[in-house]
Structure formats: C-alpha cells, structure tokens
Amino acid sequence: MALKTLGAKAAAALDKELMSTGAFSIDQLMELAGLSVSQVVYRVHPIHKGHRVLVACGPGNNGGDGLVAARHLRQYGYQPTVYYPRRSKNDLYQRLAKQLEDLDVPFVEDFPEALKSTDHIVDALFGFSFSGEVREPFPAVIKALEETNLPVTSVDAPSSWNIEDGPPKTGLGSSFHPEYLISLTAPKPLVKYFKGRHFVGGRFVAPSIAKKYDFDIPEYQGIDQIVEVSPADEKL
C-alpha cells in the first residue's frame, strides 16, 4: 500500500479542521505530536547509545513539537538540551518552556558549540508551512546540520526543504539529509526525496477526516504513537 501524501495547503486545512470540527485544541495536537517525536528518538536512538539529545526548535508549531518532545525525553531518562533562539511570546510556548526549566533542561544559545557535546539531534526548526529563505539565526544551524556526522531526526520536514520539491537544488540545505524523519498526521510530498528511516505519527485522526483529505491512517500497534514506513510503502 503506497502511502498518500498531503501537500502544504491540505496539511494547513487539515490542522484547522482538527481544531474545529475535530474538536482538538492546539495544546492537545502539539502534545501528541511531541510525544510521537520522542517515541521515534527512543526507537532509533535508545538511551544506551547515548543519553544526550540536542533539540533545535524554531519559532512556530514545529518548534513547539520539539519542546514537548524534549520534556518526554527528559522523563524517559535522556538529558536533552534545547536550542530555542526565537522564543514565541505565545502563552502555550511559554508554558512549554517553563515545564522544561522546571525539569532543569538547559537552554543553549550556541548551536554549533552544543553539537560538540551531544549524541543525537532533533531538528524541529521548520515544518510544512516553511517557504522562502532561511532567516537568521538559522542559516548557521542548517549548515551545522549539513556538516555533522551525528544522527538527526527531523520533525515533519527536514528543515530548509521545500514541502513539495524536497531539498534545495543548490546552496544552504542542499546537502542536508537526516537519518530519520517523522511525518506528522500524514507524509508530505517531500518524502519521495528522503532516503532514511521514515515514521508516521498522528494517532488521533478520525477515519472520517482521513477520508475527507484522502489519506490512509497507518496501523498503529499496541500503545505506539508511531509506525515505521517501509521503503516498499514509499512508492508514491
């Protein structure tokens, strides 16, 4: 079964629908998304491989998912560090940051420096709504992600990639290929350019909404919030 993808406009419309007819709050969706991200890290990088995780958070919802993931990782026993240079003044994001501070999760200012003392990276900078240029202070972060030998898990989209067209053809981000990707709710068209291990998370979508947006809900097992997608399912 080839997995159907959801373009940027459809993904935005689906988010709105989940929060209107679906009756979810943004807090709930972010919590479930971040929980899914944390489960991917636990799956691909168990604690015995190294407990230090650097979570890079952008200013939007993708960054919020990263903040939630960092909290869950801390509760699992990892030692997350958070890079969050453009903090949102939105109440939800401030509460998520406060929850991390209460758990003594450090926030760092220098991403390339923080890379020197971590074992795994979560890229939660930009999601499906990203377009245009990478603005400061993020170009140095994308460059560091391109150059690192550490494993990277990207949330919904490898940051700097175009949702439809994948990595930039040249320049910044063109050689950024994370090892792991978690698609939230449904895969985006860029997955056809992704060569690593791919997971889907989003165990909250009602069948009626999935039918309306013409995508399939994967078969989640047990208490898992994630499903690994085999390369055979990627024939999009």
Encoded amino acid at 5, one letter = T
CA 159 – CA 145 distance, rounded (Å): 9
Q: Is 129 annotated as a binding residue?
A: yes
pLDDT value, residue 154:
98
pLDDT value, residue 235:
47
Q: Is 88 annotated as a binding residue?
A: no
Q: Kindly list the averaged pLDDT for each block of 10 residues, start to end, along the chain of length 236.
A: 81 93 95 98 98 97 97 98 94 97 98 97 91 89 97 97 94 96 95 96 94 93 95 55
Q: Is 61 annotated as a binding residue?
A: yes
CA–chain centroid gap for 4, Å, is 19
Q: Is 156 annotated as a binding residue?
A: yes
Q: Is 63 annotated as a binding residue?
A: yes
CA 186 – CA 73 distance, rounded (Å): 23
CA triplet 112, 49, 79: central angle to 5 degrees? 55
pLDDT value, residue 130:
82
Q: Is 73:53 a contact under the CB 8 Å cutoff?
A: yes
Looking at the chain, how many residues does it have?
236
CA–chain centroid gap for 65, Å, is 7
pLDDT value, residue 8:
87
CA triplet 154, 30, 52: central angle to 5 degrees? 45
Q: Is 111 annotated as a binding residue?
A: no
Which domains are present in the chain? Answer: 8-234 (3.40.50.10260)
Helix, strand, coil in percent for the chain, rounding step 5: 40, 15, 45
